[in-house]
Amino acid sequence: MKTLLIATLIALGLTGVAQAEGDASAGKSKAAACAACHGADGNSQVPSFPKLAGQNERYLVKQMQDIQCGALSADEQKKTKCTPRAVPTMAGQLDNKSEQDVADIAAWYASQAKSGGQAKAALLVRGEAIYRGGIREKDVAACTACHSPTGQGNAQAGFPALGGQHADYIAAQLKAFRAHADGDSNGRSNDGDTRVMRDIAFRMTDGEIEAVASYISGLH
């Protein structure tokens, strides 16, 4: 059932994100301050900070909008019906950024080439099995359903490209989704009403998360 739902979401391209048309050339200067954590071209050298280069615009816009929402009060969030995402290291970074600014920054990073990564040999077989086949006995869908066999994601649907991303960052996000599903309000929950990532991550062990995150890092 979960796999069918994911496939339906991909086919319909349902993300609920409306966005302005981004200008990559304008975004370059607007993203200058982001270089400290994410690298001059969006290829972060620090495993805890995500690579943004080559990510699809729709996903980037949504994450920035969600982070902006996370800075609002609970009443403001309810009034605007936005989806909050709390990222402490992003505190203040998107303050006063307009819809156009966000779109331009997203366009700039999307236009950059993402660097690759290297999977751990000891985790390769297990990680590939999970990424491509899921974990049937736990009803964990294959990652390919949303993120594509090559890790390039689905730009139309706003599902992120994962290939080449830092393994540490991927693992941290899966654990954050799992934490929220387990009742931790500080966990990550901006995967929509379908709770796709929370439901998947909740069924995964630390070892399974580490393996698939490592495999994804080397997928490019």
pLDDT of residue 40: 94
Q: What is this structure's pTM?
A: 0.90
Domains and CATH numbers, the chain: 19-110 (1.10.760.10), 116-217 (1.10.760.10)
Tokens for 63? 């994450």
pLDDT of residue 18: 53
pLDDT of residue 20: 83
The rounded distance, in Å, linking the Cα atoms of 51 and 58 is: 16
pLDDT of residue 19: 63
pLDDT of residue 10: 39
Nearest to 52 by CA among 117, 143, 115: 115
**Average pLDDT per run of 10 along the chain, which is 220 residues long?**
40 50 96 96 97 98 98 96 96 96 98 96 98 98 97 96 98 98 97 96 98 96
The rounded distance, in Å, linking the Cα atoms of 58 and 42 is: 16
CB atoms within 10 A of CB 44: 22
The rounded distance, in Å, linking the Cα atoms of 169 and 172 is: 5
pLDDT of residue 176: 98
Buried b (16+ CB within 10 A) or exposed e, 94-113: beebeebbbbbbbbbbbbbe
Q: Would you tell me the crossing angle of helices 167-181 and 206-217 to the nearest 10 degrees? A: 140
The rounded distance, in Å, linking the Cα atoms of 130 and 104 is: 35
